[in-house]
Amino acid sequence: MGEAKVGEEFIKHEFDEAIAIQQSIVDAESSLAKAHPVTSAQRAIKDALAADRKYLQELKTLGREHDATGEVEDVAGGLTELMTSTLEKATSEGNDSDFYEAHAVLLNLKRKQWDSAGGMLAIARDQKDTKLRDAAKDFQAGQKQTSTTLTKELAGYAVQIAGAGA
């Protein structure tokens, strides 16, 4: 087991992870916005994509102040690998179950970001960094809103899939 990251090293790590996961979200949304078989989900994902691209740029800008570039570490790497593999299966095989799984993994990534934004917000408040505080609040609210919308879409998709066999 490696040494614990503390202080500025921890902040850099958090930004690296957030940037890497946000990039994975943007990549997944770019594909699902075109390929998702449910039109309303496509629209919701496309709407989320516009905001998530903005958040990615903000994370990169804020992260530069802490020498963070989006280096992929264990958690981000594992989540990105899972997103990539489920998305590849969905887009190559094209069945509802695979798209449902890709949609669910996208939600996991967004929830991870929602949680991470809370940590960034607490750090920003502790360090009296108003620029980071405002960005983290906006990021947290945005992830919550799009996660809620995508959760509703996923639930509707589950009903659609379940009813197809009835």
H/E segment holding residue 104? helix 96-126
Residue 11 in domain: yes
Domain count across the chain: 1
**Does 3 score more than 90 pLDDT?**
no
Q: What is the pLDDT of residue 1?
A: 47
Separation between Cα atoms, residue 33 and residue 39, nearest integer Å: 9
Residues 79-126: tens digit of each pLDDT: 999 999 999 999 998 899 999 999 999 999 999 999 899 999 999 999
Residue 164 in domain: no
Instruction: Indicate the SS3 state at residue 5.
Output: coil
Confidence band for 165, pLDDT divided at 50, 70 and 90: low
Residue 165 in domain: no
Residue 71 in domain: yes
Residue 67 in domain: yes
Please give the full DSSP string across 35-57, using - where no structure is assigned: H-S-HHHHHHHHHHHHHHHHHHH
In our burial notation (b when 16+ CB lie closer than 10 A, e otherwise), range 113-138 reads bbebbeebbebbeeeebeebbebbbb
Separation between Cα atoms, residue 75 and residue 165, nearest integer Å: 36
- Model pTM score: 0.92
Residue 93 in domain: yes
Instruction: Indicate the SS3 state at residue 110.
Output: helix
Residue 98 in domain: yes
Residues 115-158: tens digit of each pLDDT: 899 999 999 999 999 999 999 999 999 999 999 999 999 999 99
Domain containing 90 — which CATH number? 1.20.1260.10
Separation between Cα atoms, residue 81 and residue 20, nearest integer Å: 11
Domain that holds residue 66: 7-157
Inter-residue contact 21 to 79 (CB < 8 Å): yes
Residues 37-49: tens digit of each pLDDT: 999 999 999 999 9
Residue 2 in domain: no
